[in-house]
Structure 1
Amino acid sequence: MQLTVFFDPKFLAIMSNRLQNKKSHKILFLDNTLDVGGQEKLLYDFLSRIDRGRFDAVICCLKRGGYLKDAFKKLGFGFYEELLSHKYDALAYRKVSRILAKEKVDLIHSFIHPNTVFFSHMAMLTRSVKAWVLAIHASGSPAGGRLIGRFQKLFLSRVSRYVALADAHKRYLVDVEGLPEKKIDVINNGVDVDKFHPGPSDPDFKKGLGISEGEQVVTTVASLNRRKRIDLLLQSASIVLEKRRHVRFLIVGGGPERNRLEHLTRYFGIEKNVTFTGIRDDTPAILRASDLFVLASMRGTETFPLVLLEAMASGLPVVSTDVGSVRELVVDGESAIVVPPENAEALAQAIEILLTNEEKARVFGMKGREVAVERFTLDQMSIRMERLYEHVLSRSRRAD
């Protein structure tokens, strides 16, 4: 009898490294919390497929783990949380320092928050780690203010490399924030194109979302806060629904604005055509149940929106406000219609165009999928990030 044994490729990679006496690099991912958001979802997707033969990970949340805590813990990496006793707890670095020593961390990957920046700086200052990668996922404020305060800048001298999400984002970090251009790498967000893909939707699933037979579905996925301008989308919806009654608007996500937004639907008289789904874990299925995706965010709130990539990979035509680096994701007039921010009429008109012209919408969706698959996959992003880790660690070895 012949016995066939199958091994996990990641297990084989780990064993190969051990046989060749290669040491995997340990990376500590330092964040405030892991609530639902593009940055957190992207980190989860990245760690889900990180090359475990070359890298090991530790996840450290200064506050509570947040909504995605359980999902991250299931990945099997070291997990720490609730290190801060209060908002300005600088002494919490002692806890971080113990974690760095216990886990034998080589590199810190952190995000642009005062606490994470300070603790990463201290780790470099005390030579507790060899390198520091600082990823920046934001671009200033809606009022045009800077993202990085003067106090934070005091602790950036020891950053090994910065990660920007797009070419325009890098330009902003250099021209507005004053960061050194030669230390900034552009690594675009990536989407799992196997998870997010076009396809038919289950009628029962659509019914569960409150979608009636024959309704066209316009979807947005966002945290319900003022910056996402869901109120503007609802105003646009009221304009669209004056002419087209068989349209369902799906608002996917949760947040502090939900009660106010639900009140607005009643004010506009469109509550029967709007569904608030709350936070969902089945976004791919929701997008496959949709006909059109809309991003209505205000200026200064988006950098390289992951939700747009997810919609494009799902084969949806897109309507988006002209914010952040949106024009580096979509092809205006080919895969999307880009409109000025804060303009409900323009947003409504773009929605109407794609709801009215099904062939144009189909072609836009095909083009969006093509762009996502060719340029913005999760695999492409992961490879670039892993190469960056190897690069900064090799430089640190030469410096030693």
Structure 2
Amino acid sequence: MTKRIKILFTIPNFDTAGSGRVVYDLIAGLDRTRFAPEICCFHGKGAYFETIKSLGVPIHFFEFTAPYRPFLSLPFRVWRIARFFKQHQFDVIHSWHWSSDFTEPLAARLAGVPFVYTKKAMGWGNRAWRWRSQLSRKIIAINTDMQPQFFSAMAEKVCYIPLGVAVDYFKPLPKRYTTPEGLVFSDTDFVVVTVANLVPVKGIEVLLEAVGMLDDARVKVLVVGSTESAYARALQDQYASEQVHFVGKQLDVRPYLAVADVFVLPTLSIGEGLPVALLEAMSSKRIAIGSKVSGIKDVLRLRTDLLFEAGQVSDLSSKIKRILEMSHKERGVLQKQMRLITLEDFKIESFVENHEKLYTLISK
């Protein structure tokens, strides 16, 4: 029997679904006759961790990165990580860490294990990213802007693999008028939903100002995301009303997508990696509007009329108004197109298959 390729997936935590769901879907989809996945994270806390445990794969709790300072003892800390990698005889290490940390790929290099990382966001701007990239065997870019912006000098290392969505889990949802916490909408309301990690780059205030510009009491907004940050609290203080509801972080966003007439992602100009929340909404047969930035442009490339200039309140307001004024039939046609885009370009099966090809290639 051919030896299975032993892959270690590293990720700091499973505090939210986010990247955790992507890692879950990837591991769940791997052919277990050919691949033996394991997970390494810093701790077993987090709302999504119980879901991860259901995969039934080995999970290690280990600090797979090291602080840079003090520099004098850094080699010893990196060697400790390398010993862990070597002890478990991994064939591939795939990092889902958001950070520019270079100690993890350096440890993998010392252990003789091929290292690949997924570039999840559009942040850059320090030398550590270059070192992390140079120490990697391969880099996975999840949108089409990453290679020319970040990796033009090392294009041979870069694989373009857009994220995927589980289309059988996020399937067309019948329209609902209530949420799990008891918010009730009428059939004359027009519900706008956004799902995001509530940090300034997400531009939620642009959406709320755009809705305010409409001056239409029928338009209601649901903001799904943790309300614990200073930014989120400031948004609540300024915008929460009978028309705008903040419902907090939700592990299962489907009940909120079910009430949506339109889904909006108003990310500012720095852009996204590839917004899974947008894919989930579209796969659920919801009309999606997004800012014209990295990542979102890839998802809506076939419907550029649903893109608006990042940060432009009036542009977004006009896009929402256009959907609001559509007939039921016109909305139905557009909803079908949203679902079709995910089926043709962003199915989780294609995402998994492309990773399997990469792991097979670099483990030889």
TM-score, scaled to structure 1: 0.81
* Match in the other structure for 2:48: 68
* Match in the other structure for 2:312: 343
Distance 1:318 1:218 in 2: 10
CA shift for structure 1 position 114: 5.3
Residues 1:158 and 1:204: Cα distance change in structure 2 (over 3 Å): closer
Equivalent residues in 2 for 1:173-322, closer than 5 Å: 173-175=150-152, 178=153, 180-203=154-177, 205=179, 208-240=182-214, 242=215, 244-254=216-226, 255-256=228-229, 257-266=231-240, 271-322=241-292
Per-residue CA deviation, residues 329-355 of structure 1 (Å, 9 max, x unaligned), is 114647x51110111111111111101
SS in 2 for 1:134: strand
- For structure 2, the residue ranges without an aligned partner over 5 or more in a row are none
Residues 1:360 and 1:111: Cα distance change in structure 2 (over 3 Å): same
Distance 1:34 1:163 in 2: 21
In terms of mean alpha carbon deviation, does 385-394 or 60-69 score higher?
60-69
- Are residue 25 (structure 1) and residue 8 (structure 2) matched? no
SS in 2 for 1:83: coil
Distance 2:99 2:258 in 1: 39
* Match in the other structure for 1:136: 119
Distance 2:119 2:306 in 1: 27
CA shift for structure 1 position 55: 1.2
- For structure 1, the residue ranges without an aligned partner over 5 or more in a row are 1-20, 141-146, 395-400
Residues 1:204 and 1:225: Cα distance change in structure 2 (over 3 Å): closer
* Match in the other structure for 1:11: none
Residues 1:117 and 1:39: Cα distance change in structure 2 (over 3 Å): farther
Matching residue's letter, 2:262 = L
* Match in the other structure for 1:158: 135
Distance 2:99 2:276 in 1: 24
Partners of 1:133 and 1:163 within 8 A in 2:
yes
RMSD: 2.5
CA shift for structure 1 position 87: 4.7
SS in 2 for 1:157: helix
SS in 1 for 2:38: strand
CA shift for structure 1 position 67: 3.5
SS in 2 for 1:319: strand
Partners of 1:300 and 1:323 within 8 A in 2:
yes
Residues 1:310 and 1:151: Cα distance change in structure 2 (over 3 Å): closer
CA shift for structure 1 position 113: 5.0
Residues 1:384 and 1:94: Cα distance change in structure 2 (over 3 Å): same
SS in 2 for 1:56: strand
Matching residue's letter, 1:302 = E
Residues 1:226 and 1:375: Cα distance change in structure 2 (over 3 Å): same
SS in 1 for 2:264: strand
* Match in the other structure for 1:323: 293
CA shift for structure 1 position 192: 0.8
CA shift for structure 1 position 58: 1.9
Equivalent residues in 2 for 1:98-109, closer than 5 Å: 98-109=83-94
CA shift for structure 1 position 289: 2.2
Residues 1:288 and 1:204: Cα distance change in structure 2 (over 3 Å): closer
Residues 1:370 and 1:152: Cα distance change in structure 2 (over 3 Å): closer
TM-score, scaled to structure 2: 0.89
Distance 2:177 2:117 in 1: 44
* Match in the other structure for 2:126: 149
Partners of 1:84 and 1:92 within 8 A in 2:
no
Partners of 2:100 and 2:128 within 8 A in 1:
no
Residues 1:206 and 1:63: Cα distance change in structure 2 (over 3 Å): closer
- Are residue 362 (structure 1) and residue 332 (structure 2) matched? yes
Per-residue CA deviation, residues 38-89 of structure 1 (Å, 9 max, x unaligned), is 4332112212222211111221124665432222222122222352798547
SS in 2 for 1:166: coil
Residues 1:100 and 1:328: Cα distance change in structure 2 (over 3 Å): same
Residues 1:64 and 1:172: Cα distance change in structure 2 (over 3 Å): farther
> Rg larger in 1 or in 2?
1
In terms of mean alpha carbon deviation, does 86-95 or 191-200 score higher?
86-95
CA shift for structure 1 position 238: 1.1
Partners of 2:143 and 2:294 within 8 A in 1:
no
Per-residue CA deviation, residues 18-43 of structure 1 (Å, 9 max, x unaligned), is xxx21111111122333326433211
Residues 1:74 and 1:251: Cα distance change in structure 2 (over 3 Å): same
Residues 1:152 and 1:196: Cα distance change in structure 2 (over 3 Å): closer
Percent of aligned pairs with the same amino acid: 25
Matching residue's letter, 1:58 = E
Per-residue CA deviation, residues 182-241 of structure 1 (Å, 9 max, x unaligned), is 11110011111111122314555478244344322110000111110111111112112x
